[in-house]
Structure 1
Amino acid sequence: MDITSLGGERAAPFEPTFASAAESYLKHGGEERYLAPIVAYFGDRPLKTIYPFDIKAMAEALYPSQSNATRNRQAVTPARAVLMHGYDRGWCNFIRVRRFKEEKPKRRKPATAVWLHAFSRQCDKDGLEHLAAIVLFMASTGARISEAIALRWDEVDLTARTALLLKTKTSTNSMRYLTDEVARRLRGLKEGNSSTDRVFRYSNRHSVNERIRAVCDRADIPYKPPHTCGRHTFASTAIELGMDVKTTMIAGDWRSSSVFLETYVTPRGTPGRVVADRMNVHDFGDI
């Protein structure tokens, strides 16, 4: 029976909008980060009227002076996720949104053994034992600065020489193993601390970064931010010492081999010359 024959009005058909699709996306476990300004931008615009050009226009409007990498991460990717959710629900057609072309950032050179020695020596001279310890800890375990700052004494076992990083960036706990020098420095820092105290005392990455810069100036060595003198140095040093890629990735809690090789591993010297010199151990002419 047609409801209009009874004097009623036919209900208007449901018209999915970007806002309603975003609400459904979040309700079903979608990522909320960066989404609010995009929802505000598109609002109640029907989902089926949004095309790839509109997504890029939105990214440029929200982030006019930011890099293409920022636009991709904070605008294109979350908007595309909402549209894909809408497609999965049958609310719009499938559309392919191309990312902005990104320029590869200039890669900083990781810290060498000489740099780490000069840095820790200056820290010792300045009475900054916690700063020396956190940098050497990151450089020898691959820990991120956020993980190192969050480390508490009850997560450190100096007898077994281990440190348990809780809920890292990959959302799992990760066990790291301490070198003799790092274990020795931590023993010197532990006295008088409770099990719940922060191992390195710092509460945010900015204070660590500021002190690293100041020490580099006093030691007359190139400035290297925490990620460079820590995680980058760990990866490059491990590979240089002969560790295979898989072992190094597991030790430093990397999941993507492409990210690991393209971002973190820096060849030392001239790669072709290094390989040629290593091959000199073989004399193929006498075989």
Structure 2
Amino acid sequence: MANPYVASNRYVINNHDQNPPTQQKTFEEAAASYLSHGGCNRFLPQIISYFEGRELRSIHPFDIRQMAEALYPDQSNATRNRQALSPARAVITHAYERGWCNLMRLRRFKEDRPQRKTPASHVWLHAFIRECDISNLPHLSALILFMSQTGARISEAIRLEWSDVDFSARTALLRKTKTGTNSLRFLTDELIDRMRDLRAAPASSGRVFRYINRHSVNERIHAVCDRAGISYKSSHLCGRHSFATNAIEAGMDIRTTMAAGDWKSSSIFLEIYVHPRQNAGRIVADRFNAFQFSGAI
């Protein structure tokens, strides 16, 4: 006889127990326990509010997907997966581990492959830095150079303080990066010279680059690009995308580049941040021209 408590859809598991506990836990209680045991609260408040008063046994995969669409109606599926499905699944998995509900399988929304964006090339960076120098924007030029040569994220770069810069060792310590750890970055000679000039300027205490958020940085970048007559590149394209692509084109191997920029996933690094050249086939063919097989060895 078929088990009446197993759903026919392989992605949906009936969350009703044959012998349910006398006191059913709600999603709010499960979330509170999840957070008290070290869970992340970044995207949970909206989800908790959505499921307010709902018992865990009454929540099914369909309900969670409906929640994601309700909270993020105009956002991409990638955002729904990251900011709705993943946090909700973490709470329910925690509840399962505590014996409060059955295990649930949850299908992710299908994500479109991210569109390739053109990073800041050496030619673009040269034109941008030159325009910054003409416009007397030393903090912006140093910031863009810092991100493009260290792979720092904009949030990490603008938080950099002078106490974390070692001029003698030519290093900068990025504190509490996206991965939750400190990361040491090594600085080029030109970048060190520009940062020394910033350090010598009046009121040069606290943050190195003075900017407080990425929006103000991107607005300045846009204005400089307009004056220089070059295409606009966001701070992200000027930073990690530029660092990854230019390092690989300079001949660095994948693992070394990942370690220098603090990437943890090789798949993300290669699929998102490393951009192939437009004439890749011709470049490879020209390299093979160095080997001629018609003559004598």
Normalising to structure 1: TM-score of the pair? 0.91
Could you tell me which of 75, 99, 114 is aligned with 2:123?
114
Give runs of aligned pairs for residues 69-84 of structure 1, distance below 5 A.
Answer: 69-84=78-93
For structure 2, the residue ranges without an aligned partner over 5 or more in a row are 1-20
SS in 1 for 2:131: helix
Residue 127 of structure 1 aligns with which residue?
136
Could you tell me which of 269, 288, 296 is aligned with 1:279?
288
State yes or no: 1:19 paired with 2:12.
no
Residue 105 of structure 2 aligns with which residue?
96
- The answer to whether the 8 A contact 2:152-2:261 is kept is yes
Instruction: Kindly state the Cα deviation for residue 214 of structure 1 after the two structures are TM-superposed.
Output: 0.2
Give runs of aligned pairs for residues 185-196 of structure 1, distance below 5 A.
Answer: 185-192=194-201, 196=205
Instruction: Kindly state the Cα deviation for residue 283 of structure 1 after the two structures are TM-superposed.
Output: 2.0
SS in 1 for 2:31: helix
SS in 2 for 1:284: coil
Distance 1:133 1:245 in 2: 26
Residue 254 of structure 2 aligns with which residue?
245
Give runs of aligned pairs for residues 20-169 of structure 1, distance below 5 A.
Answer: 20-169=29-178
State yes or no: 1:270 paired with 2:270.
no
Q: Which amino acid aligns with 1:217?
A: D
Residue-pair matches, total: 276
Residue 5 of structure 2 aligns with which residue?
none
Residue 209 of structure 1 aligns with which residue?
218
Distance 2:156 2:105 in 1: 37
Instruction: Kindly state the Cα deviation for residue 192 of structure 1 after the two structures are TM-superposed.
Output: 4.1
CA deviation digits over 1:200-254, x for unaligned, max 9? Answer: 1112211111100000000010000111011110000000011011100110111
Q: Which amino acid aligns with 1:198?
A: R
Distance 1:285 1:134 in 2: 52
State yes or no: 1:222 paired with 2:245.
no
Q: Which amino acid aligns with 1:121?
A: R
Normalising to structure 2: TM-score of the pair? 0.88
Residue 4 of structure 1 aligns with which residue?
none
Instruction: Kindly state the Cα deviation for residue 270 of structure 1 after the two structures are TM-superposed.
Output: 2.7
Q: Which amino acid aligns with 1:13?
A: T
SS in 2 for 1:176: strand
For structure 1, the residue ranges without an aligned partner over 5 or more in a row are 1-11
- The answer to whether the 8 A contact 1:84-1:94 is kept is yes
Q: Which amino acid aligns with 2:103?
A: F
Residue 9 of structure 2 aligns with which residue?
none
Identity, % of aligned pairs? 63
Residue 8 of structure 1 aligns with which residue?
none
SS in 1 for 2:185: strand
Residue 258 of structure 1 aligns with which residue?
267
Q: Which amino acid aligns with 1:282?
A: F
